[in-house]
């Protein structure tokens, strides 16, 4: 094991001067929001005057091979600077580690830091925003085999991560295929340039409603029982099983007005996750919803559940839902039952909706296969990380 201060010729952080920034320039300042594990993005950077840029650049002089580590806010995300990247400077939320390349491989150092992310987060201090001090960082120890072994480990982990990234790209492409198919068959569901029949949501649904949280909140949930769907379970196009709550028969009976049925569409109606939508999976039934999730049960003779969900998750319709959620001027985003009932939705012929649903079902089958590949590859990556660093 070796301390970081002995394998890096410099460990420092970015600018401590709050950047004034300008509307646009060729001189970029990145922050922790631009750093992900193994990846540096240039999304929404700060732009600096040339003089300010070179003033900050003298302090850290970010170069190819440097390892960046987020140290304020979301602590522990790390990536390696590529030689081909455009030049940038950093805000103080990011540390710069300059490895001694005769001792440590940059990618190996990055993976070592990824492995100790929980430790870094545990050592974080602060009230409004947690962070880790450079002195703490310098004292962190990592395993340090020979450089040849490090190079081999970094290469293996890079290859495994590349496989994961390829599968994730495939998943995005399949999601895009669903979007493109919807647009090709039905057009924009808000502008309705194809002139489909329009109905209010309440005219196409037999049930619209949300539930409540049982008395006692989280403390009242059971290990097993009837599923209680919360907004953290509902994502656009998929249901997240993690942290699914359960309630007993007595609690469920008090929510009998929001019994979830097969093919119900779930719509988040409050908070930052407002407008996220998916179809309830059969394997969590019987179920209820709390007050942050609405059930929308389509009339089968009018509308296909899968079509309705894809309509809700369409980018154009998502913008519409957000406008509804934020239009009242309230401090918290929210969509009321009455607003859901008044939503206008296009109503193409059911035969065409069903044809679309069949196409989406086949795409979803492919997505399931890709997701399984991602899981297997991620498990392999985790196993290798444990083998090399634990």
Query: In terms of domains, do 338 and 359 share one?
Result: no
Query: In terms of domains, do 77 and 149 share one?
Result: no
**Of the given ranges (47-56, 183-192, 310-319), which has the lowest mean pLDDT?**
47-56
Task: Supply the DSSP symbol for 256.
Answer: G
Scan for tokens 């090709």, then name that residue.
184
Query: In terms of domains, do 275 and 361 share one?
Result: no
What is the rounded CA–CA span in Å between residue 73 and residue 247?
35
Does any domain span residue 320?
A: yes
Give the phi and the psi of residue 70 in degrees, each rounded to 5. Answer: -75, 130
Query: In terms of domains, do 77 and 43 share one?
Result: yes
Does any domain span residue 323?
A: yes
pLDDT tens digits along 332-368: 789 999 999 999 999 999 999 999 999 999 999 999 9
Contact 325, 335 (CB under 8 A): yes
What is the rounded CA–CA span in Å between residue 221 and residue 215?
10
Does any domain span residue 267?
A: yes
Rg (CA), the chain: 25
Q: Which stretches of 173-231 are assigned E, i.e. beta strand?
A: 197-200, 205-210, 226-229
Does any domain span residue 185?
A: no
Query: In terms of domains, do 204 and 336 share one?
Result: yes
C-alpha of 349 from chain center: 35
Query: In terms of domains, do 281 and 153 share one?
Result: no
Query: In terms of domains, do 360 and 341 share one?
Result: no
Does any domain span residue 45?
A: yes
Query: In terms of domains, do 341 and 366 share one?
Result: no
Contact 275, 335 (CB under 8 A): yes
Task: Check pLDDT > 90 for residue 51.
Answer: no
What is the rounded CA–CA span in Å between residue 381 and residue 368?
20
Query: In terms of domains, do 306 and 206 share one?
Result: yes
Q: What number is the average pLDDT over the span 179-201?
A: 96
Does any domain span residue 307?
A: yes
Helix (H, G, I), strand (E, B) or coil at 107: helix
Query: In terms of domains, do 353 and 329 share one?
Result: no
Q: To the nearest whole number, what is the mean pLDDT of the chain?
A: 93
Query: In terms of domains, do 115 and 161 share one?
Result: no
Query: In terms of domains, do 331 and 213 share one?
Result: yes
Q: What's the pTM?
A: 0.82
Task: Check pLDDT > 70 for residue 55.
Answer: yes
What pairs with residue 11 in β-bridges?
Answer: 97
Task: Check pLDDT > 90 for residue 130.
Answer: no
Taking 3-state DSSP, the helix, strand and coil percentages for the chain, each rounded to the nearest 5, stand at 45, 20, 35
Helix (H, G, I), strand (E, B) or coil at 298: strand
Scan for tokens 């044809």, then name that residue.
355
Would you mind telling me the total number of residues written for the chain in this entry?
390
What is the band of 329 on the pLDDT scale with cuts at 50, 70, 90? low
Concatenating the DSSP letter of every residue in 73-89 gives SSTT-EEE--TTSPPEE
Q: Indicate the number of domains in the chain.
A: 3
Domain carrying residue 210: 197-347
pLDDT tens digits along 191-229: 999 999 999 999 999 999 999 988 888 888 998 999 999
Does any domain span residue 179?
A: no
Structure tokens at 161: 């991560």
Does any domain span residue 182?
A: no
- 39: domain CATH number is 3.90.220.20
């Amino acid at each position: 094991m070796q301390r970081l201060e002995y394998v890096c010729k410099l460990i420092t952080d970015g600018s401590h001067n709050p950047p004034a920034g300008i509307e646009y320039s060729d001189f970029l300042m990145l922050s922790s929001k631009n750093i992900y594990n193994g990846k540096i993005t240039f999304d929404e950077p700060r732009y600096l005057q040339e003089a300010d840029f070179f003033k900050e650049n003298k302090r850290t002089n970010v170069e190819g091979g440097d390892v960046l580590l987020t140290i304020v806010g979301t602590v522990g995300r790390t990536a390696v600077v590529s030689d081909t990247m455009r030049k940038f400077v950093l805000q103080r939320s990011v540390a710069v580690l300059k490895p001694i390349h005769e001792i440590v491989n940059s990618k190996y150092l990055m993976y070592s830091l990824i492995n100790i992310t929980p430790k870094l987060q545990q050592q974080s201090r602060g009230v409004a925003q947690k962070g880790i001090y450079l002195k703490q960082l310098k004292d962190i120890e990592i395993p340090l085999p020979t450089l040849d072994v490090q190079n081999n480990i970094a290469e293996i982990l890079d290859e495994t991560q590349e496989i994961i990234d390829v599968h994730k790209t495939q998943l995005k492409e399949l999601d895009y295929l669903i979007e493109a198919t919807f647009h090709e068959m039905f057009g924009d569901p808000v502008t309705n340039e194809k002139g489909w029949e329009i109905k209010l949501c309440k005219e196409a649904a037999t049930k619209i409603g949300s539930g409540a949280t049982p008395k006692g909140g989280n403390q009242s949930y059971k290990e097993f029982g009837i599923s209680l769907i919360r907004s953290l379970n509902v994502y656009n196009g998929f249901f997240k099983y993690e942290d699914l709550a359960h309630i007993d028969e007595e609690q469920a009976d008090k929510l009998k007005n929001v019994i979830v049925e097969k093919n119900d569409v779930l719509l988040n109606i409050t908070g930052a996750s407002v407008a996220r939508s998916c179809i309830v999976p059969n394997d969590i039934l019987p179920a209820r919803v709390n007050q942050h999730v609405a059930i929308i049960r389509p009339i089968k003779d009018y509308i296909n559940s899968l079509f309705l969900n894809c309509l809700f998750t369409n980018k154009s319709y998502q913008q519409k839902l957000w406008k509804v959620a934020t239009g009242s001027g309230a401090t918290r985003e929210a969509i009321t039952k009455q607003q859901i009932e008044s939503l206008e939705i296009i109503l193409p012929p059911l035969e065409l909706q069903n044809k679309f649903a069949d196409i989406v079902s086949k795409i979803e089958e492919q997505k399931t296969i890709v997701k399984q590949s991602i899981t297997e590859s991620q498990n392999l990556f985790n196993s290798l990380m444990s083998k090399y660093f634990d």
